[in-house]
Structure formats: C-alpha cells, structure tokens
Amino acid sequence: MRGHASLLGTYVEGTSPLHRLPLWLKGLTVLVLSTSVLLVNTPVLTAGALTVTAAGYLVGARLKPIHLWRPLAPVWPMLVILGGYQVIVNGPEPALQLVGNITVCLLAARLLTLTTEGQLLLDGLVALAVPFRRLGADPERFGLTLALMTRSLPYLVGSVADVRDAARARGLERSPRALVIPVVIGAVAYAHQTGEALAARGLGEPREPGPPSAS
Amino acid sequence: MIVFEGAAVSVDGPVRQRQILEPVTLTLAERRIAVIGANGSGKSTLLKLINGLITPTAGRVVVEGLNTVNAGRAVRQRVGFVFTDPLSQLVMPTGREDVELSLRARVRRPADRRAAAISVLERFGLAPLADQSIYDLSGGERQLMALATVLAVNPDILVADEPTTLLDLRNERRVRSLFRTLDQQVVFTTHDLEFATDSDRVLVIDSGRLVFDGDPQQAIARYRSLHLDPDKLPGGDHR
C-alpha cells in the first residue's frame, strides 16, 4: 500500500517561531487566511496570501522549499483540470485566482500539521469540542474522529494510485469501473479494519453502564 | 485465564444459518498458546472471541472472570489484540504518536505522555523510529510498532492474529524472540509451524471445529495429516 502521508503532512520536528506558536493562534490564522481568500476573492489578496503562506514555510517554520511542493504533488492534475475549465469558461484571471485560493488553503492547512505534533493537535480538537459536552458530545471521540480523517485521506489517495497502477498493468486504464469499484471496496474494507482495530484497542468506546461481571 | 463455555459463532446465510465456529469448550491457562489451521478455518474468529471483537452466538467466553458480552470494554482493557496487517492498526502518523494515543486515557499531561511513549519505544528497541512516518517503516518495523502500541498499556493477555505472516525471515525472528520475552499470556494464530512449536499448547482448527488440543508436536502432526493426506490434495487419488 502506497502511503501519501504528504497530502496533509506529518509533523516535522523543529524549534522555529511557528513551531512554538500556540495551536489556537495557528488555527485561527489558517481559518482567517482561508476564509478571506475564498470570501473576498481578489487577485491581490490571493497573491498576498500565497506570499504570506510561502514565507510561513520558508521563514516562519524554517522548512525546506520541497515542503511547499509535497502537498501539491498528488493534487496538481485536479488543479490543472479545474484551472483549464475556468480558463475556457471565465478566462485566465479567475482561473489563476481559483487555483491560487485552493493552493493557499491546502498549504496553510498543511503548515499547521507540519508544525504541530499530532497529539497536541488531538488535544486541541478535543478542547474545541468540550463546550458541546453538555449537548451529549464526547470530545475524545470527536478528536479521534478528526484525527482518523486526517490519517484516512492520505491512505485513500494512495489507494487510488495503487488501483490505477493495477488497472494499467492489466490494460484497463480506460475503464472507470476498474478504477472506481476497487477503490470503493478498498475504502469500505479500510473503514471496517480501522473500526475493528480501534475497538480492539478500546479507543473511542462509550463507557459501559454497571459493573462488569462473569454472569 | 480464558474460558470458552460452549462458545459458538454462526451467521445468517442465504438459506440457513452458517456455522463459523462449532461450540468450543476449553480453558486456556498456559503462557503461550498457538492456534493453527487452514485459511478460513475459524482461527481468527476464535481469537476475536477472546477480546469481544466478536461475541458468541451461543455459549460464552469469560476472560479473567469477565464475560466478553456484558463487559466488553473491561475485557479489551485487559486483552491487547494485534492484527496481521499493522497498517490497519496504526492510527496516528508516527509510531510515537500512536503509542501516545494508547496512553491517552492513563497519562493526562502531554509531556508525561510523550516521555512514557518514548520509554515504551526504547523498551522495544524502536526509539530511533519513533518520529518516522508509519508509511516509511518496513513491514517488520510496523509490526513491532503495532505490538508496542498494544503492549504500552500492559495488557494481561496478548492476542495476535498471524503476526508474522507479512514478515521476512529476519523480522519474523524479531517478533518471535519478542514474544518469548513477554510476561503476558500470549495467544496467537500462525501458518508457521516452527513458530507454533514456541508455544506450550496448540489448538488445531479445521472447518470451524476444534479437532486437536495439546502438545505442539502432536498438534502439528495432526494438522499435517489433515492437509497433506494424499487423498485430500488436488490431483490426489479420490477413491
């Protein structure tokens, strides 16, 4: 199984200013940056946000330039298709803007995971859900669910690549069925296995009522 | 101690109930117990009954005095389970974070949790791999990491479903030697008959039935007689 861990990125150890920044501040910055480029949607803001994000990687987090490319590598075909469609329908400027905005969101989100330890991220997600406890929410399960989502996306991207290679090896690269069906079946099997593994480790289980007994 | 009291598993079939595991009655008290049998014979079902991942449709399974049906959570706190494919078991991006996930309920302070996780990984010789992506680890390293995440919480019993199936010879030896050093009671399935001889007791499962229970050498001979009988082999003499 090919693992596309680079889509959301695993934590890179460091002592840079961004590594030391509190999680809430980093999260808020990502939120503000992403929503502003999507809502305001002007070329100047997109270019500015791209510059700020790139500076965040290279200066703020002292990461190598390759880290800027890694999250884009698995999605560039989609960006090219989206951009191409926009060029035909709306012209080059909106196309560049759309691709730029998606790139800002992807890079900013990845910068957060690259500079924040997984467990700290999980603690932050759990803290985020604590106010909803009075409504019956279980913060630990909420955090675990989101952590699983960030882990599952790279796995599924890897699964698509594996299935595509397998279809190509059998000369079926033009058959959508040869791509879609194994990916869907694989995703369901993966979800089942992950659920079973979590249950086996007692993770995310609700508390049982009453004392345990052998009766 | 693990007690099976007429524990059986069946599922709904298209026409009638299909028996996955015939009623099993036995008490497992030995330190090392191997379960051998052909693919699809019911070995994994038997193992999953031990920590309540599957509940019996008849009879009951009692682990350390706890019924797996009404005390599933408590049972799973005492029984660690290792799957054949460690990738389906490792949830977090790195081994250290996964061990920390196991420790979350026991160690609340993040700094203490991190120190405890590193200590666990050092115990298993995995500290140099602590911060590597699980996707960058070899199959053997991943399996050892999966074992570390389960053993981090010191379960009383370790259940392992074909833990060496995906491993090369070197890593298979590593897992086997680790198993020998564990304090826990260990129940594992395997297709490696040499690995089965490391145990004190071997169960042979065939077509959902427990057909032998006892000494490893005799169990292996019984298993071989079941599957290497010329009359049962493809192309054999089917008189």
Give per-residue pLDDT as tens, B19-45: 899 999 999 999 999 999 999 899 999
Ramachandran bin of B194, using left for φ above 0, alpha for ψ from -120 to 50, beta for the remaining angles = alpha
How many residue pairs from chains A and B have C-beta atoms closer than 8 A?
Answer: 109
Please name the residue that has the structure tokens 């061990």. Answer: B99
Query: At B94, is the secondary structure helix, strand, or coil?
Result: strand
Q: Which residues of B make CB contacts under 8 Å with A?
A: 51, 53, 62, 65-67, 70-77, 80-81, 83, 85, 87-89, 91-94, 97, 100-102, 104, 110, 113-114, 131, 133-136, 149-150
Cα(B57)–Cα(B227) distance, integer angstroms: 29
Q: How far is CA A128 from CA A123, B105, B232, in A?
A: 9, 18, 61
Cα(B137)–Cα(B174) distance, integer angstroms: 15
Does pTM surpass 0.80? Answer: no
Q: Which residues pair with B60 in a beta bridge?
A: B5
Cα(B212)–Cα(B61) distance, integer angstroms: 19
Cα(A198)–Cα(B53) distance, integer angstroms: 10
What DSSP character marks residue A133? Answer: G
The residue ranges of chain A whose pLDDT is under 70 are 1-9, 204-215
Nearest to B173 by CA among B140, B151, B222: B140
Per-residue pLDDT of chain B (239 residues; tens, 9 = 90+): 999 999 999 988 777 888 899 999 999 999 999 999 999 899 999 999 999 989 999 999 999 999 999 988 889 889 999 988 888 788 888 899 899 988 888 888 888 989 999 999 998 889 999 988 888 888 888 989 999 999 999 999 999 999 888 888 888 888 898 888 899 999 999 999 999 998 999 999 999 999 999 999 999 999 998 877 656 554 444 33
Q: Quick check: B83 and B96 in contact, CB under 8 A?
A: no
Delimit the domains of chain A by residue range. 17-116, 138-200
Delimit the domains of chain B by residue range. 2-232
Give per-residue pLDDT as tens, B151-193: 999 999 999 999 888 888 888 888 898 888 899 999 999 999 9
A117, A148, A213 member nearest B67 (Cβ):
A213
Residue in B closest to A152 by C-alpha: B91
- CB atoms A147 and B149 under 8 Å: no
Which two structure tokens, joined as six digits, stand for A111? 């910068």
What ipTM, to 2 d.p.? 0.74
CA dihedral B66, B70, B74, B80 (to 10 degrees): 80
Secondary structure of B170-234 in HEC code, one letter for each residue: HHHHHHHHHHHHCCCEEEEECCCHHHHCCCCEEEEEECCEEEEEECHHHHHHHHHHHHCCCCCCC
Neighboring chain B residues of A203 at a CB cutoff of 8 Å:
91, 101-102
The domain B2-232 belongs to what CATH superfamily?
P-loop containing nucleotide triphosphate hydrolases (3.40.50.300)
What DSSP character marks residue B70? Answer: T
